Structure 1
Amino acid sequence: MNKSNMYTFLTSSDLFIFCLILLSRKSSAADYWHEECQPKNCGNGLNITFPFYIQGVQESYCGYPGFELNCTKGHGYPTIRLPGNDYIVENISYSSRSFRVYNSAVLNTSNRTCLPQIRNTTLPTAFNYANVTLLYLLSNCTKPLPDDLSRYQVSCGSENRDDWDLAIRDKDENSQNGLENCKKHVVAPVDAHGDDHENGMGNYMKIIRRGFVLNWTASDCSKCQESGGVCGFNTSVYQFKCFCPDRPHSVSCMPGKLCSHLLSGKVLINQLNCT
């Protein structure tokens, strides 16, 4: 008789032992992924979970590409690296898929009046601004300044011509005039709900420190979490993974066919799905 046509019948007790053997062979690796990617705290007590992951604490498969956080900067806050700048992550809303950040250059500014380390930032495709306006930081401006720009002047040391001379919002009526009178400019995104009267002068650091909100686009984690799984991502094939106590699944930890016929008393062994 051809082996492909042979059916082997097992009793319920035999099948139970058979399933235990198969599960034991892979449970250690599955449990590792499931435990490794559990939510963790970072610095100021923020709960870090998918799509974010913590550099040096978790592997990259615990998060979505580009959502790496650094928790070892020494200031007690998680930091995300966006092109050109490090940003302090102040709050994360997983339900709305958004998080509030501010430029790390203004983390400690009590004795400083200028911020030459701020650079232009281009957002990765996974992020977009929620509701921001732009603050122009202008340097190498012509002297003397026109009267209509003097109220935007920032006091900086003359020894460094890369320090900021003006700080002005992009929607201000004098913003174009400022751009025409200064050779260099950096664009800093800031919260659009800020007080316009804070524009320029010495309060521009306060405007930047208030930060702004970013929305993100990443794989949906809800079904996996609701089923008791922990979300992850396979970067080699660029696919979402749901790490479950038994094994990784594609979407959630919903029961499969594994030993689903135990209560039937007998089952065809080649009908089992124990993968």
Structure 2
Amino acid sequence: MHLNFPPPLLFSVFIFFLSHHFPKSMSTDDVQFSNCNPSFQCRGLGKIEYPFWLDGHQPRHCGSPGFSLHCRNGEATIGIMHRKYRVIDINYNAQVLKIGTINNGSKGACPHPNATIDPSLMSYTSKVENATFLFDCWQYEDHPRSYGFTCEMDDLQRPSYFVVNTSLANELGSKCAERVVIPVLGTVAQALLNHSLDVDGL
């Protein structure tokens, strides 16, 4: 659905897609927007176009509120609902923004709080599904419809689960202290659940 415009490494590499009806670019003939095409590029993103604007390299009027990008050490980030995400790709023709979470903690740290977006700006594409991460569990139980792993809490490796099925998440969740719901690509979720992908392969 589109809205109109008005594990070691596990949590750092989960990618999800956001879709948005990008408005048409501002006219390049307009003098006000003549400085909106900077030569500066942030890694592989190419030219930053409307509704996005590159903070520190383009004036605010070059983009739309809520769509400012920051480039530091060659990595572009965007702030969504008070959280920073890594910008992996922008497809202007398909109107898809591909982002991933940023791992600010230790390599095997447990996940961040729930990831949410502002529905007035963007929506998830149909390729995304909600997954539940259960962590700080009392013990590990092998279950065919879950992916078990460990993550670090308070310097201890704690049993944890990745689950897509809500009823199973509730069942296993009774044995865990914390749960996080986060959007992930359906293909990644299924690859983890059928064990054709593990956290070392991400």
Q: TM-score, normalised by structure 1?
A: 0.52
CA deviations 1:206-236 (Å, max 9, x no partner) are 66xxxxxxxxxxxxxxxxxxxxxxxxxxxxx
Task: Confirm whether residue 153 of structure 1 aligns to residue 151 of structure 2.
Answer: no
Deviation at 1:150, TM superposition (A): 11
SS at match of 2:149: coil
Correspondence 1:70-81 to 2 at 5 A: 70-72=70-72, 74=73, 76-81=74-79
Deviation at 1:41, TM superposition (A): 4.5
Deviation at 1:37, TM superposition (A): 1.3
Q: Which residue of 2 aligns with 1:123?
A: 117
Correspondence 1:11-26 to 2 at 5 A: none
Q: Distance in 2 between matches of 1:171 and 1:196?
A: 11
Correspondence 1:34-183 to 2 at 5 A: 34-38=33-37, 40-46=39-45, 47-72=47-72, 74=73, 76-105=74-103, 112-116=107-111, 118-124=112-118, 125-130=120-125, 131-141=127-137, 143-148=138-143, 152-157=147-152, 159-160=154-155, 165-171=159-165, 174-183=168-177
**What stretches of structure 1 move > 4 A for 4+ residues in a row?**
204-207
Q: Distance in 2 between matches of 1:173 and 1:148?
A: 13
Q: Distance in 1 between matches of 2:39 and 2:193?
A: 39
Deviation at 1:104, TM superposition (A): 1.8
Deviation at 1:61, TM superposition (A): 1.1
SS at match of 1:156: strand
CA deviations 1:15-58 (Å, max 9, x no partner) are xxxxxxxxxxxxxxx63x22221255432131201000011111
Q: Distance in 2 between matches of 1:127 and 1:152?
A: 29
Deviation at 1:158, TM superposition (A): 5.9
- Unpaired runs of at least 5, structure 1: 1-29, 208-275
Larger strand proportion of the pair: 2
Q: Distance in 2 between matches of 1:205 and 1:84?
A: 29
Q: Compared with structure 1, are the counterparts of its residues 66 and 199 closer, same or farther at alpha carbon in structure 2 (3 Å cutoff)?
A: same
Q: Distance in 1 between matches of 2:82 and 2:131?
A: 16
Q: Which residue of 1 aligns with 2:9?
A: none
Q: TM-score, normalised by structure 2?
A: 0.68
Q: Distance in 2 between matches of 1:58 and 1:67?
A: 12
Q: Distance in 2 between matches of 1:157 and 1:105?
A: 13
Deviation at 1:121, TM superposition (A): 2.0
Correspondence 1:188-199 to 2 at 5 A: 188-194=182-188, 196-199=190-193
Larger helix proportion of the pair: 1
- Unpaired runs of at least 5, structure 2: 1-29
CA deviations 1:60-114 (Å, max 9, x no partner) are 1110110010012x2x2211111253211111111121111111228xx9x8223
Deviation at 1:176, TM superposition (A): 2.3
Q: Which residue of 1 aligns with 2:4?
A: none
Q: Compared with structure 1, are the counterparts of its residues 40 and 79 closer, same or farther at alpha carbon in structure 2 (3 Å cutoff)?
A: farther
State whether residues 91 and 99 of structure 1, in contact with CA within 8 Å, keep that contact through their aligned partners in structure 2.
yes
Q: Distance in 2 between matches of 1:147 and 1:100?
A: 32
CA deviations 1:252-271 (Å, max 9, x no partner) are xxxxxxxxxxxxxxxxxxxx
State whether residues 136 and 169 of structure 1, in contact with CA within 8 Å, keep that contact through their aligned partners in structure 2.
yes
**Amino acid of the residue matched to residue 34 of structure 2?**
E
Q: What is the aligned-residue identity percentage?
A: 22
